[in-house]
Amino acid sequence: MSENQNQTPVVRCRDVSRTYQKDAIPVHALRSVDLDVHAGEFVSLAGPSGSGKSTLLNIIGGLDEFDGGSVQVDGVELDGLSPAALSALRLEKIGFVFQAYNLLPVLTAQENVEFILQLQGIDKQQRRERAAQALDNLGLGELGERRPGELSGGQQQRVAIARAIVTRPVLLVADEPTANLDSATTEELLVLMARLNSEQGMTIVTATHDPMVMSHAERQVHLSDGRIDRDG
Amino acid sequence: MPLKLILQLSARNLFRYPRRNGLLLLAIAFALAGATFTNALMRGWQYDMLDRAVENLVGHVKVQTEEYRDDPNMLHSFALPQGYQPEISGVAIAGWAPRINVPAVLLSERESRGVQLVGIDPQREDISFYADLNIVGENLSGTADGRIVLGQELARQLQTSVGRKVVVLAQGADGKNRERGFRVAGLFDAQAESLEKAVAFTGLATAQAYLGGSPQAGSEGLVTEISVLLADEPQRLEAVDSLGSEFPDKLVADWRTLQPQAAEMFALADMGIYIIFLFMMGGLAFGLVNTLIAAVMERVRELGMLRAIGMPRRVVLMQVVVESMLIMIVGIVLGLAAGILSVAALADGIDLSAFAEGIDAFGMSALLIPVLSTKDLVMFSSLSLLLGLVASIFPALRAVRITPLMAMNR
């Protein structure tokens, strides 16, 4: 057992289930899932469409509800948290990278990164420095004044990663982060994420179909029909 | 709450959909400009009506005997104290005039007409419409002038003219009918036939000598009324109280009591202003709600992302509200500016003399001068802001209900 695995996991799922109603028919998206993600791990949730990987990722990210079981993020039990408390948890502890980048088009790259620090109430000077540093670390130091429309897809996704990590979250959640990128840009981005994981010890959980993403993750969790059928 | 962030995002979002927001701004500005201009015209009409009611020998406050109100003749006159000057503590008086105002019959060689014979001190009548009359011939030279000034229409009906004589028949202070010949000094043009055929003026001292006999000791002779014009109309009730103490056995009333029809028209104009404004802005509110909802629905993904990364609901709500308020504020400023400029362009008034007879029936002058009221502009701005706030609440609640999952599933 590694040193990390002796510590409380960043994500701890026990007996998690989630059932949707689709056209009045219950759909079991997750069935009794157990999963621990420890600090510093890079975990890829994989599986075919409808396997439950996105549902599990959303539940871990505090974006979706679950019907049964227990989910803890950084020791905080998500079950029973109010919407406001969940918002605060996401803001303080979780960084998000979305498939469609989802940058604010009216803000520059620097402002998009600063924006989340503003929500946290961090002062202007510190915001400037931290955002500039995050962009610089991701090779975007020269592009801070550009708006998203003036950046390529890969550059936009790197800004989104800068926005996600600038708050120094305990967990980075990435939903199909390379789905809109070409293979060269995907490779660059995955190297970047792997570097964040290895150099900064960033805990990353990603849901993906992409074998390239899976190959960069140190741990692959495979889901099928709402259950984990392979982990490792 | 990160207000600065909300303001920054909202301000930039204004320029994000330039065509839609530009059209919305135009609609708000157009409604505000229209409301301001319409309001200025209505206020102009209202104040003109007030001036005409007040200047129509009424004044803001009038002192008469109780009996005169029911039976206006010299039997119900009263003695004007020697050296009388109205003084009201804390109320500025613009002017005052003592008068005799009684019904009389005017006879020319060919016709006779019933009129109001008004004995005036011409130097004091700058408080009434008399000072603004265009007189063909000569004006009365003073209170002792023994001539008469008639309206042009009355002269036409009597088939008389300047320099000719008419006979006036009226009841004196002793109850006996008296008659006296008057030479016509001039004919006045009031741009309102009703006034021209209803009133005839002569000097006050002449009327007193003709109808009232010799003045009593310590008095300046009999009068039927003292009319007072205040510098500030809203102080009329204080003036009524003060003059009421000075003349406890007399009836002291303000113009609204003396001219209830004009007062009701005044109040109606007030209400009309608010109703027109509410209709204009109410219509706009639907457009505003619709546009804001469209703006929210176009940004479901973005708003969902904001919620996902931890933006609290109240901040999302504030952002939509602030965005609509910013549009409203810019629209209000543009609309008020356009409205004020359009009123300024017509500051010399709108000439309605082509419709003089028709508008006379509405108690209007031939020259309608738009009046801008700061109070109204402040009220319009405040109500528009309130409207913007109310109109933004529904779209803001829609925005708050957007969840990160909804955004991702789009």
B237 touches chain A (CB under 8 A): no
Q: How far apart are CA B308 and CA A63, in angstroms?
A: 7
Q: Would you state the pLDDT for residue B343?
A: 93
Q: What is the sign, positive or negative, of the torsion defined by CA atoms of A38, A71, A221, B404?
A: negative
Span A43-52, average pLDDT: 91
Of all residues in chain B, the one with the smallest CA distance to A101 is B305
Per residue in B299-354, pLDDT tens?
Answer: 888 888 888 888 888 888 998 899 889 989 999 999 999 999 999 998 888 887 77
A85 touches chain B (CB under 8 A): no
Interchain proximity B9–A107, CB inside 8 Å:
yes
Q: How confident is the model at residue B364 (pLDDT cuts 50, 70, 90)?
A: low
Interchain proximity A83–B308, CB inside 8 Å:
no
Cα A177 off chain centre by:
9
Q: Minimal CA–CA distance to B259: which of B54, B78, B84?
A: B54
Q: How far apart are CA B225 and CA B251, in angstroms?
A: 10
Span B57-78, average pLDDT: 90
Q: Would you state the pLDDT for residue B354?
A: 74
Q: Would you state the pLDDT for residue A131?
A: 94
Of all residues in chain B, the one with the smallest CA distance to A92 is B310
Average pLDDT, chain A: 89
Q: How far apart are CA B334 and CA A24, in angstroms?
A: 53
Per residue in A163-199, pLDDT tens?
Answer: 999 999 999 999 888 887 788 888 888 888 888 888 8
Span A45-63, average pLDDT: 92
Q: How confident is the model at residue B55 (pLDDT cuts 50, 70, 90)?
A: low
Q: Minimal CA–CA distance to A87: which of B408, B299, B319, B400?
A: B400
**Unique residue bearing structure tokens 């310590």:** B218
Contacts of B301 in chain A (CB under 8 A): 100, 102
Q: Annotate B22-60 with b (16+ C-beta within 10 A) or e (fewer).
A: eebbebbbbbbbbbbbbbbbbbbbbbbbbebbbbbbbbb
Measure in Å the smallest separation between the Cα of B384 and chain A Cα atoms.
27
Interchain proximity A64–B307, CB inside 8 Å:
no
Helix (H, G, I), strand (E, B), or coil: what is residue A76? strand
Q: Chain B interface, mutation test: which of A87, A90, A96, most B Cβ atoms within 10 Å?
A: A87
Span A91-118, average pLDDT: 91
Residue A2 predicted with pLDDT over 60: no
Contact A97, A175 (CB under 8 A): yes
Residue A22 predicted with pLDDT over 90: no
Of all residues in chain B, the one with the smallest CA distance to A103 is B302
Residue B1 predicted with pLDDT over 70: no
Q: Would you state the pLDDT for residue A76?
A: 94
Contact B178, B171 (CB under 8 A): yes
Measure in Å the smallest separation between the Cα of A230 and chain B Cα atoms.
27
Per residue in B82-135, pLDDT tens?
Answer: 888 888 888 889 999 999 999 999 999 999 999 999 999 999 998 888 888 889
Mean pLDDT lowest among A35-39, B124-128, B199-203, B274-278: B274-278
CA angle A183, A186, A187 (to 5 degrees): 90
Interchain proximity A163–B13, CB inside 8 Å:
no
Per residue in B134-182, pLDDT tens?
Answer: 899 999 999 999 999 999 999 999 999 999 999 999 999 988 999 999 9
Interchain proximity A106–B4, CB inside 8 Å:
no
A88 touches chain B (CB under 8 A): yes
Residue A17 predicted with pLDDT over 60: yes
Q: Would you state the pLDDT for residue B19?
A: 87
Q: Minimal CA–CA distance to B144: which of B122, B129, B128?
A: B122
Interchain proximity A98–B408, CB inside 8 Å:
yes
Helix (H, G, I), strand (E, B), or coil: what is residue A167? coil
Q: How confident is the model at residue B48 (pLDDT cuts 50, 70, 90)?
A: confident
Interchain proximity A106–B307, CB inside 8 Å:
no
Per residue in B372-386, pLDDT tens?
Answer: 888 889 988 998 899
What tokens does B370 get? 């738009």
Q: Please, which residues have CB within 8 angstroms of residue A50's CB and are 6 or more apart in sequence?
A: none
Q: Would you state the pLDDT for residue A25?
A: 87
B305 touches chain A (CB under 8 A): yes
Q: How far apart are CA A39 and CA B402, in angstroms?
A: 32
Distance (Å) of CA A156 to CA A149, A187, B171 = 9, 15, 99
- The CATH class that applies to domain A39-62+82-231 reads alpha beta
What tokens does A105 get? 């088009």
More confident residue, A93 or A232: A93
A58 touches chain B (CB under 8 A): yes
Closest by Cβ to A96, choosing from B309, B313, B315? B309
Measure in Å the smallest separation between the Cα of B12 and chain A Cα atoms.
6
Q: Would you state the pLDDT for residue A1?
A: 41
Per residue in B305-314, pLDDT tens?
Answer: 888 888 888 8
Q: Please, which residues have CB within 8 angstroms of residue B105's CB and are 6 or more apart in sequence?
A: B112, B113, B114, B115, B168, B169, B170
Q: Minimal CA–CA distance to B12: which of A104, A113, A100, A117?
A: A104
Of all residues in chain B, the one with the smallest CA distance to A91 is B310
Q: Would you state the pLDDT for residue B356?
A: 65
Measure in Å the smallest separation between the Cα of B395 and chain A Cα atoms.
20
Interchain proximity A87–B311, CB inside 8 Å:
yes
Q: What is the sign, positive or negative, of the torsion defined by CA atoms of B395, B396, B397, B401?
A: positive
Element housing A94 (H / E): strand A94-97
Interchain proximity A116–B405, CB inside 8 Å:
no
Q: How far apart are CA A179 and CA A189, in angstroms?
A: 11
Interchain proximity A98–B4, CB inside 8 Å:
no
Q: What is the edge-to-edge ordering of all strands in the sheet holding A11-22?
A: A25-37, A11-22, A68-73, A76-77
**DSSP assignments along B118-153, one per residue:** EEE-GGGGGGSGGGG-EEEE----STT---EEEEHH
Contact B220, B82 (CB under 8 A): yes
Average pLDDT, chain B: 88
Contacts of A121 in chain B (CB under 8 A): 2
A191 touches chain B (CB under 8 A): no
ipTM > 0.90 for the complex: no
Residue B264 predicted with pLDDT over 50: yes
Q: Would you state the pLDDT for residue B159?
A: 95
